[in-house]
A = this chain, B = another copy of it.
Amino acid sequence: MATGRTHRPATRSRGIPEATVARLPLYLRALTALSERSVPTVSSEELAAAAGVNSAKLRKDFSYLGSYGTRGVGYDVEYLVYQISRELGLTQDWPVVIVGIGNLGAALANYGGFASRGFRVAALIDADPAMAGKPVAGIPVQHTDDLEKIIQDNGVSIGVIATPAGAAQQVCDRLVGAGVTSILNFAPTVLSVPDGVDVRKVDLSIELQILAFHEQRKAGEEAMESLAEGLPATAKGSTDQGPDGDVPAVMPA
């Protein structure tokens, strides 16, 4: 639908690739740790190891931001912390609302990671009237009826959805209608939003299923290896129950 209409270059304003943007927070975290230990400079090799990435990738990532390193020395930690923070927009204050104060929503409200860097929980919103006024993480929960007013009064542009799946799209529509343009979705649903609104999803169930796939594959390979060599299962495969009984079909060449 509407393909080829307004060609919108996603990350064209600065030309920073999306993959790079996704790694910047990782670098920032590693750099912050170094900064707290008063380390003045760091090489791409060291920093890459701390962030769990390839050093060439890290250097290329930084090259998109500019030339902030010194050859023969490395990168100035403090300077880089500042540059990345600025690039990510963390030098300003981001008021955030959390909608859906159940188990997960409450946990998110209590999570320290919010306040740490530029993000501030401006309001908690729930549809349950019984929750209204009740403080969670020191913040009184407000009712969904006031959602639009809360968004506008606080200048909120980032919303977190932690409602049940059934309510997510409706909440999303109201958030977007009230001016929110970035949404972090914890509900297990695909949200549809108009152009210009960013959605990122965090889905426990999906992550587990991906792990299960690889786990099954590992178990299958392991079973086939011991089958092929006629070896009994070694220490590792203590739980190779195959209730499925289905041996993956891999044709030996």
Is there contact, CB below 8 Å, between A211 and B237? Answer: no
A-B residue pairs in contact (CB < 8 Å), sample of 7: A13-B220, A22-B210, A29-B205, A111-B204, A113-B205, A181-B237, A182-B214
Q: Which of A207-225 contact B (CB under 8 A)?
A: 207-221
Tell which of B207, B212, B235, B241 touches A202, judged by Cβ atoms closer than 8 Å: B207
A249 partner residues in chain B, CB cutoff 8 A? 7-8, 10, 12-13, 169, 190, 192
A188 contacts B10, C-beta separation under 8 Å: no
A108, CB-defined interface residue at 8 Å = yes
Chain B positions within 8 Å of A179 at CB level: 235-238
| Given A211-B184, A251-B7, A236-B157 contact (CB < 8 Å) | yes
Tell me whether A92 is interfacial, beta carbon within 8 Å: yes
Is A226 on the interface with B (CB-CB < 8 A)?
no
Give the interface size class of chain A.
Answer: 35 or more
Residues of B within 8 A of A25 (CB): 203, 205-206, 209-210
Q: Which of B87, B104, B202 contacts A107 (CB 8 A)?
A: B104
Q: Is residue A194 contacting chain B, with contact meaning CB distance below 8 A?
A: yes
The residues of B that contact A243 with a CB separation of less than 8 Å are 91-93, 173-174, 177
Complex Cα distance A237/B148, Å? 14
Which residues from B are CB-within-8-Å of A26? Answer: 190, 206
A158 with B111: in contact, given A196-B218, A243-B174, A244-B86 (CB under 8 Å)?
no
Q: For A42, what are the chain B residues with a Cβ–Cβ distance below 8 Å?
A: none
B211 contacts A21, C-beta separation under 8 Å: no
A198 to B190, CA, bound (A): 26
Q: A24-B213, A213-B21, A243-B174 are in contact. Are A13 and B251 (CB under 8 A)?
A: no
The docked-state distance in angstroms from the alpha carbon of A29 to that of B246 is 24
> What string of 1s and 0s marks CB contacts (under 8 Å) between A23-34 and chain B?
011101110000
